[in-house]
């Protein structure tokens, strides 16, 4: 899986580290943005192949980030996988309705499963 550009928008260091490590093992280097607005900026600067998006973020929340991505024609097509600990039905529904391509509740998924989902979404 060479040269896959995956952007992780996540504010929690202790989550970023294991994710980076697990993706690194498969040869994917994660780009990381730690706030919502940084995330939008990173997406616009270089269109990634996939976005891993947390919802509860400083400065601009995940829903707003997703809206921005879908609004801009140059980024609207990017697959977005929500990676959040908001685990209520309504929250998940809202995430999918905002235009996400998948929704994973962090604590309910193993790190391998997350990597697996990303790879399958990228057609690998």
Partner 1 sequence: MLKMMESLPLLATGILNILLGAYVIYENPKKALNLGLFFFALGASGWILSLWATINFPPALWVSKITFISPLVIVAFLAFFVYELEPKSFSRSLLAPVFILAAPSVFIILVLVNKVVTSVGIRNNHIINTYGSAYPFYGMLVLGYILGSLFYLLYKYHKAHGVDVLRLKYALLGLALMLIPSVITNLILPLVFKAQNFNTVGPISATFMVILMTYAIVRYHLLEIWVVVRMGVIFSLVFAAISFVYIVIVASVSQYTGLGYIYSLILSSLVITLTFEPLKQFIEKATDRIFFHKHYNFNNVIEELTSTIHTASLDLERLLKIFNEIVKSTFKVSEAEFAVLTSKDTFLASSDSKKDIELSPNNPLIEFLKMNEGFILNRDEIIHELERDRVRLKVVHIDLLPAAYEELVKLDFTLAIPISSDSQMIAIYFIGAKSSNDLFTTEDLRLLDHLTSEAGVLINNARLYGDLKKLDEAKSNFISVVSHQLRTPLSAVRWSTELLLDGTVDLKAQKEFLKDTYKNSLFVIERLDDMLTALDVEDKNLELKKEPCRLRPLIDEIVKENEFLVHSKKIDLTINLEPGSDTVECDTKKMKKMLEVLLNNAFWYVPESGGSVTLAGQKRVYGNEPFLEISVSDNGIGVSPDEQRYMFEKFFRGEAAKRMSPNGFGLGLFIVRAFARAHGGDAHFESAGRGKGAKFYFTVKREEEKKTHA
- The minimum distance between CB 56 and partner 1, in angstroms, equals 4
- Residues lying near partner 1 in the complex (CB under 8 A) are found at 11-15, 17-19, 21-22, 25, 56-61, 85-88, 105-107, 110-112
For partner 1, the closer of residues 29 and 74 by Cβ is 29
**118 class by beta-carbon count within 10 Å (0-12 exposed, 13-18 middle, 19+ buried):** buried
CB nearer partner 1, residue 35 or residue 75: 35
In the bound state with partner 1, the residue whose beta carbon lies nearer, of 47 and 91, is 91
Please give the structure tokens belonging to residue 31: 């780009």
Give the Cα separation of 41 and 19 in Å (integer).
21
Closest to 32 measured CA to CA, from 60, 54, 2: 54
- CB of residue 22 vs partner 1: minimum separation in angstroms? 7
Q: Which two tokens stand for residue 104?
A: 């994973």
Q: Angle at Cα 41 formed by Cα 69 and Cα 80, nearest 5°?
A: 35
Closest approach, Cβ 95 to partner 1, in A, equals: 13
Which of 26, 44 has the CB closer to partner 1?
26
């Amino acid at each position: 899986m060479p040269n896959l550009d995956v952007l992780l928008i996540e504010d929690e260091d202790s989550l970023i580290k294991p994710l980076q490590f697990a993706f690194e093992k498969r040869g994917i280097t994660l780009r990381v943005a730690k706030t919502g607005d940084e995330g939008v900026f990173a997406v616009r600067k270089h269109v990634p192949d996939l976005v891993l998006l947390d919802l509860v973020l400083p400065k601009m929340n995940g829903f707003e980030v997703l809206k921005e991505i879908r609004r801009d024609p140059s980024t609207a097509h990017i697959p977005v996988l929500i990676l959040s600990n908001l685990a209520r039905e309504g929250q998940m529904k809202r995430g999918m309705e905002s235009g996400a391509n998948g929704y994973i509740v962090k604590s309910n998924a193993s790190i391998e499963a997350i990597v697996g989902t990303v790879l399958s979404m990228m057609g690998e």
